[in-house]
Amino acid sequence: MMKMIQVRKKLENTWAVDNVTIHVAKGSIYGLLGSNGAGKTTLLKIMSGIYLQDDGEVIFDGNQVFENPSNKRRIFFIQDSPYFIPQYTVKQMANFYSQIYSRWDWECYEALIASFEMNTNKKIHRFSKGIQRQAAFIFALSAKPDVLILDEPMDGLDPVLRKKIKSLIIDEVAAREMTVIISSHNLREVEDLCDTIGIMHKGKLILEKDIDDLKSDTHKIQIAFKGPVPPVIYQNMKVLHKEKRGSIVLLIAKGDEEEISSVIQSYQPIIFDLLHLTLEEIFIYEMEDVGYAVKNILN
Amino acid sequence: MQSKTSLINKEIIKSIFRSVGWVSILYFLCLIFILPLNMFILFSNGQGQFYYYDNLFSYNFFYQAALMIGIPVILSMFLFRFLQVKQYSDFIHSLPIKRTSIFHQYTLLGYFILITPIVLIAGVILLLYSPLELNGYFPLTDIFEWLGLTILFNTVFYIAGVAVAMISGISIVQGVLTYIALLLPLGLLILISYNLQYFLFGFSAEYILQNKLDFISPLVVAAQINYYSLSTIQLVLYIGLIIVLYFTALFLYKKRNVESVSHALVFPILKPFFKYGVTFCMMLLGVLYFGEMQGDRTWVMIGYIFGAILGYLIAEMVLQKSWRITVHLKGFILYCAAIICLVVLLKMDLMFFEKKMPAMNEIESVHFSEGYYGYYLEEDQEQYSLKERDNIHFVQQLHKSILNNHEGKRLDSRFGDSAFFAYKLKNGKKVVREYKIDKKNYEGMYKLIFESEEYKIATNDIFSINENEVSKIMIHSNSIVDKITSINKHEEKLEFIKALKQDILTSKYEDMQEMTNPYASINIITDKDDIYLDWNYYNKEVEAWLNNHGYSDVRLTGDDLDYALIVKKDAVEINDRQSYEEIRDTIEKSPNKLKIEKTSDLEETLVKTRPFVDGDYVIVYYYKDINQVEISGISAKDAPEFIKNNLK
């Protein structure tokens, strides 16, 4: 659906985006994580066709995005602090978008306005930051894009609104297979929303994972045997981390849950626990070598 | 569906109107006050016939010009705000509209907003034309001329603003750069011409700059459009410029990187051009300031160094957007090296500019004068030139000896005299040179040229008038004592003119160079124009004729004076900024003064009087019956014996 192939972009003499290859499948929600200055915003602006990459390709539905209105019409980008035409009211802005985005849906717009109880005759720049962001969401969803690109969308929203917007996004993805690319500097903010996570650090994409795979694959195992641990049990798993606390062995390992437990059970352990890890824990263990980037995202 | 995002988008157009529509309204209101309302007030109560004007620009031209120069650039700055504000820029460029389409819509609609008020005002004047009976004041075609020219210059400035918007990422920089770009062609020409004078011996900046080159800077033309007449070629060039700028702007916009917003210059390739361009211009400007102020070589060098450093720093400040900058010394050193090479090349004079001197057999005629202004004073007036071989030879000899003499190696304001040569060659070419010299060193040659009959006839208007067309000759005493007389009889007029011509033809170079006050001024009025001459002490024929015909009392004589006080100039502290009364008081208090009361002494002094700043003695003349004084001077060489003997 949305592909970036070896994309590079130089800003002010540094590679803000350096050889990034991303593939976002249709109907998925892709979370782009990274600390400030990692290159997330630049990447999203390239994806939205605002910036032109210096190298590589950005392909949406088989065509490039930059200067291609028929593709850009199906992509909607919300900036980290949403921007509206100066002095425009919500109503005027809606009229504006309705002329620009051919799939604009007035019914959807009215419904969203009602649900957020928004005053459409007020100038948008007089609203608080939070309400401005709601307005941006209303416009974005009413434009019925195939790809919604959100730069730090949860910043400055209270928990109730976050939840509301997340559910709106999920509904839209479920209803018409909209693709969402969302950036954040905080994993917890998006882990319940995304199905794929990419982590950027200094312009490079250092990790890209499917969350479901990660969650079902990685386990925290606590075992204890009467004698020493039989080495055979390690054959079916990839150990990421190993710790010994007295006779109890703590393992963080990847592998098929059923296979692992059947092998261990056959050696009759005294203690055997297999737990699911939180996403946060998975990342900590997965990324011990690139520690800095991850720690910042998890904080 | 597809058509919604085609070339014209209703909502985009609405948004443009909402953001810059006010400019149109403002322009319209200002023009209403400047033109139609002003006309209404002037002409509705019949006062208009006293109002002088050439064209519609004559009405409050200052304000018209200010708007014509200001409004289009301001409009272009507001219109393209979306290129200079980061979030706005990201917003617009995230929309599914091609840049070409954005550019055409913004630029063309902006243009429509700009010219609508002008067209409306022309319409209002047309409507007022017959009710106010404006045909008595100006022809109908004037309205269309005004409309056309106003639109033309607005368009040039607007398109220039649009084009600069594409290369700049800051609105203020956009505005300033637009005006710089509009002034640059002429400004650079002026700066380079003046600077070449310091390097090319004989180069005449004034001559180069007078060749009607104003039009290369449209801003300069617009500021004088109330009397400037634009030729068809210039008109076509401006229209061509508009078209070229439009497509250049489009090209640049398509190449522009959105992320460069808020950079002074968005194309990195332009930065060195800007940096060294500013440095170069400031360097030339520095010379103009210090060189013209002080004139000698040290100050010229200081001007170069100071100007270059200042320019380099300013450019760095603009590019780094801060006054606390890190200076890249390497760039500056390279610049200096390049400039030194350029100067060396110039001094090598590869074109033989300095040594070039046309051979006698190539020269058709030569114009020689004491300064450029004599040459091009009136553009439609045929300039005098010397054709006699002897005179051409003398002029060439003078030119050669200036070249051989190192005294005037540079244009230096210490030498007050100027020698201007313009050779017209047989092959149609011209060789023009100007030198600053000290005339005293070339007196012999000057004498030969100035005393030649051809030169005298060429430079004195009296030889070109038709004596029968002279309607009146007036002679005026030229002093506080107002004496005036006129010669009206036809016979007398002819005789007087004959005497004047006689005097001119026999006058000596030394006399012509004298600075003494004339006895009286002569004004010869013909049907075509007036000629002004002086009656000087050496005009013996004129004096004799006036005496014989009873007109001589028109000049100031000893009888008109009560007495005079005279002091040595260095004995008192006076200067030419003081009023006559202050100088008089100083001299009256001075202990070493001489009082002259004898009519014959006064008479003798009067003849040799010159402006007081010019003399070694300062004289206060006291008039009979008039409570006013005249302060004059007299030089030591002219001073009568009784002054020299009494004031030592």
Strand partners, B525: B472, B530
Do the beta carbons of residue A4 and residue A47 sit within 8 Å? Answer: yes
The average pLDDT across B129-158 equals 91
pLDDT computed for residue B293 by the predictor: 62
Pairing of strands A14-24, A2-11: antiparallel
What is the C-alpha to C-alpha distance for residues A100 and A73, in angstroms, rounded to an integer?
8
Output the pLDDT for position A59.
Answer: 94
The CA angle A280-A282-A285, to the nearest 5 degrees, is 110
Per-residue pLDDT, B295: 60
Strand A55-60: give its sheet, edge to edge.
A14-24, A2-11, A55-60, A63-64
Q: Do B90 and A50 touch (CB under 8 A)?
A: yes
Of chain B residues 9-48, which have a CB less than 8 A from chain A? 9-12, 14-15, 18-19
Which one of B1, B2, B5, B89 would you mutate to disrupt binding with A, by most A Cβ within 10 Å of its Cβ?
B5
Task: For residue A200, give the nearest of A56, A15, A57 by alpha carbon.
Answer: A15
Residues of chain B with pLDDT > 70: what percent?
Answer: 93
B2 touches chain A (CB under 8 A): yes
Q: Do B96 and A72 touch (CB under 8 A)?
A: yes
Q: Which residue has tokens 């004079």?
A: B349
Nearest Cα neighbor of B415 from B435, B442, B399 is B435
Nearest-Cα residue of chain A relative to residue B14: A96
What's the pLDDT score for residue A287?
67
Give the chain B residue nearest A97 (alpha carbons): B11
Would you call B229 an interface residue with chain A, using a CB distance cutoff of 8 Å?
no
Is B123's pLDDT higher than 70? yes
Indicate whether B591 pLDDT > 50.
yes
Structure tokens at A248: 């109890």
Contacts of A157 (CB under 8 A, 6+ apart): A130, A133, A165
Q: Name the residue facing A67 among B15, B99, B257 (closest C-beta).
A: B99
Range 252-271 of A in CB contact (< 8 A) with B: none
B386, with CB counted inside 10 A (0-12, 13-18, 19+), is buried
Q: How close is the nearest chain A Cα to the Cα of B157, in Å?
A: 26
pLDDT digits (tens, 9 = 90+) for B192-220: 888 887 778 888 887 777 777 888 899 99
**For residue range B22-43, what is the model confidence (pLDDT) as tens digits?**
999 999 999 999 999 988 887 7
Return d(Cα B495, Cα B470) in angstroms, integer.
12
Residue B5 has pLDDT above 80, yes or no: no
Find the largest Cα–Cα distance for chain A.
76
Residues with Cβ < 8 Å from B565, sequence gap 6 or more? B587, B588, B593, B594, B595, B596, B619, B620, B622
* Rounded Cα–Cα distance for residues B347 and B200 (Å): 7
Q: Given CB atoms, is B8 within the 8 Å cutoff of chain A?
A: no
The partner residues of B634 in beta bridges, in order of sequence, read B617
- Tell me the C-alpha distance between A211 and A31, whole Å: 10
Cα separation, B549 vs A5, in Å, equals 108
Alpha-carbon distance of B628 to B367, in angstroms, equals 45
Across the A/B interface, how many CB contacts are shorter than 8 Å?
73
Across-strand partners of B366?
B386, B423
Q: In angstroms, rounded to a whole number, what is the distance separating the alpha carbons of residues B505 and B501?
A: 6
Rounded-to-10 torsion of CA B174, B179, B185, B187: -120
Q: Is A63 on the interface with B (CB under 8 A)?
A: no
Contacts of A42 in chain B (CB under 8 A): 259
Q: Where are the alpha helices (DSSP H) in B203-324?
A: 205-209, 218-222, 232-255, 270-294, 297-320
- CA pair distance B52, B137, nearest whole angstrom: 9
Contact between residue B31 and residue B116 where contact means Cβ atoms under 8 Å apart: no
Picking from A48, A79, A100, the nearest residue to B87 by CB comes out as A79
Phi, psi of B282 (to 5 degrees): -65, -35
Spatial distance between the Cα atoms of A145 and B455, rounded to a whole number of angstroms = 88
Pair A64, A71: CB distance under 8 Å: yes
Distance of residue A209 Cα from the nearest chain B Cα, in angstroms: 28
Contacting residues of B for A73, CB less than 8 Å apart: 5, 96
Q: Using an 8 Å Cβ cutoff, are B499 and B522 in contact?
A: no
Question: A65, A85, A132: best mutation site toward chain B, by most B Cβ within 10 Å?
Answer: A85
> How, if at all, do strands B484-487 and B470-476 pair?
antiparallel
Which residue in chain A has the smallest CA separation from B90?
A50
The partner residue sitting opposite A102, judged by closest CB among B5, B12, B259, is B5
Chain A residues touching residue B9 (CB < 8 angstroms): 99-100
User: Pick from A77, A40, A48, A78: which is nearest to A64 by CA?
Assistant: A48
B320 in A contact zone (CB under 8 Å) = no
CB A144 within 8 A of CB A111: no
pLDDT at B524: 87
Q: Which helix (H) or strand (E) holds B105?
A: helix B99-129
Residue A76's region, left for phi above 0, alpha for psi from -120 to 50, else beta, is beta
| pLDDT value of residue A275 | 87
Pairwise CB contact (< 8 Å): A50 & B94: yes
Closest CA to B132 of B54, B62, B49, B63: B49
> Where residue B1 falls among pLDDT bands split at 50, 70, 90?
very low
Within an 8 Å CB–CB cutoff, is residue A95 touching chain B? yes
The answer to whether A51 and A25 are in contact (CB under 8 A) is no
**Cα-to-chain-centroid distance, residue A81:** 18
**Structure confidence by residue, pLDDT tens digits, B535-582:** 888 888 888 888 888 887 888 888 888 888 888 888 788 777 788 888
Which residue in B has a C-alpha nearest to residue A46's C-alpha? B94
The sign one gets for the Cα dihedral B268, B270, B276, B278 is: negative
Question: E-assigned strands of B410-456?
Answer: 417-425, 430-437
User: Which two structure tokens, joined as six digits, stand for B60?
Assistant: 């409050």
Q: What are B493-540's pLDDT values in tens digits?
A: 888 888 888 888 888 888 888 777 888 888 888 887 788 888 888 888
Higher-confidence position of B118 and A256: B118
Q: What is the pLDDT of residue B266?
A: 92
What percent of the residues of chain B are helix, what percent strand, and what percent coil, each to the nearest 5? 60, 10, 30
Which residues of A fall within a CB distance of 8 Å from B98?
67, 69
Any residues with CB less than 8 A from the CB of B169 and at least 6 apart, and which? B83, B84, B260, B261, B262, B263, B264, B265, B266
- Closest residue of chain B to A145, computed from CA coordinates: B96
Res B411 pLDDT > 50: no
DSSP class of residue B388 equals: -
What DSSP line would sit under B605-629, residue for residue? HHHT-B-GGG-SEEEEEEESS---E
Mean pLDDT of B93-107: 94
- Sort out which chain B residues have CB atoms less than 8 A from A50's CB and list them: 90, 93-94, 258
**What confidence score (pLDDT) does residue B161 get?**
97
Q: What's the angle, vertex CA A141, arms to CA A138 and CA A147, rounded to 5?
A: 140
Tens digit of each residue's pLDDT (9 = 90 or more) over B308-361: 999 999 999 988 888 888 888 899 999 999 999 988 888 787 777 877 888 888
The partner residue sitting opposite A69, judged by closest CB among B18, B88, B96, is B96
| Nearest Cα residue to B562 out of B611, B629, B617 | B629
Contact criterion met (CB < 8 Å) for A102 and B19: no
Do B95 and A100 make contact, defined as CB atoms within 8 angstroms?
yes
Query: Are the C-beta atoms of B640 and B609 separated by less than 8 Å?
Result: no
Distance CA(A285)–CA(A273), nearest Å, equals 19
Any B CB within 8 A of A83 CB: yes
**Residue among B15, B90, B258 minimizing CB distance to A79:** B90
Calpha distance B174→B77 (Å, rounded): 7
Task: Write the burial class of residue B579 (CB in 10 Å: 0-12 exposed, 13-18 middle, 19+ buried).
Answer: exposed
Name residue, tokens 């949860």: A154
Q: B82 to chain A nearest CA, in Å?
A: 10
Closest CB to A50: pick one of B1, B11, B93: B93
Q: From the candidates B11, B97, B98, B319, which should be mutated to test the interface with A, based on the most A CB atoms within 10 A?
A: B11
Whether the CB-CB separation of B472 and B488 falls below 8 Å is answered with yes
Nearest in space to B316 (alpha carbons), one of B304, B329, B297, B306: B329
Q: For the sheet containing A248-254, what is the strand order?
A: A238-245, A248-254, A218-224, A271-276
The domain ranges of chain B are 2-184+202-260, 271-348, 365-455, 461-554, 558-646
A275 interface with B at CB cutoff 8 Å: no
Mean predicted confidence (pLDDT) in B291-299: 69
Cβ atoms of A177 and A1 within 8 Å: the answer is no
The pLDDT score that the predictor gives to residue A266 is 87
Separation of alpha carbons B173 and B154, rounded Å: 20
In the structure encoding, which two tokens stand for residue B441, read together?
A: 């060193």
Region B155-164: mean pLDDT is: 97
- Confidence category of residue B6, pLDDT binned at 50, 70, 90: low
Nearest to B202 by CA among B451, B537, B373, B436: B436
| Predicted pLDDT of residue B51 | 62
- Among residues A183, A135, A163, which one has the least CA distance to residue A30? A183
CA distance A17 to A38: 8
Distance CA B595, CA B405 (A): 47
* Beta-carbon separation of B91 and A83 below 8 A: yes
**Inter-chain contact A100–B4, Cβ cutoff 8 Å?**
yes
Around A168, how many Cα atoms within 13 Å sit in the side-chain half-sphere?
22
Average pLDDT estimate for B125-138: 86
Tell whether B99 is within 8 A of chain A (Cβ): yes
User: Which chain B residue is nearest to residue A82, measuring alpha carbons?
Assistant: B87
Question: CA angle at residue A97 from A91 to A103, to 5 degrees?
Answer: 120
Of chain B, the end-to-end C-alpha distance in Å amounts to 105
Identify all chain A residues contacting B91, using CB atoms and an 8 Å cutoff: 79, 83-85
DSSP state of B527: S
Position with higher pLDDT, A135 vs B611? A135
| Residue B587 in tokens | 């001299």
Contact: A48, B94; criterion CB under 8 Å: yes
- Please give, rounded to a whole number of angstroms, the shortest distance from the CA of B3 to a CA of chain A: 9
Domains of chain A: 2-202 (3.40.50.300), 213-298 (3.30.70)
Q: How far is B10 from chain A (nearest CA, A)?
A: 7
- Which chain A residues are within 8 Å of B19, Cβ to Cβ? 85-87
Q: Please identify which residue in the block is written with the tokens 């006839």.
A: B457
Among candidates B5, B87, B257 on the partner chain, residue whose Cβ is nearest the Cβ of A73: B5
Q: Which residues of chain B does A11 touch, with a Cβ-Cβ cutoff of 8 Å?
A: 259
Could you tell me how many helices (H) and strands (E) chain B has, helices first? 24, 11
Positions of chain A with pLDDT lower than 70, given as ranges? 286-299
Residue with tokens 């049990």: A233
What is the C-alpha to C-alpha distance for residues B163 and B79, in angstroms, rounded to an integer? 12
Q: What is the ipTM metric for this complex? A: 0.88
Percent of chain B with pLDDT over 90: 32
Average pLDDT in the B269-279 region?
93
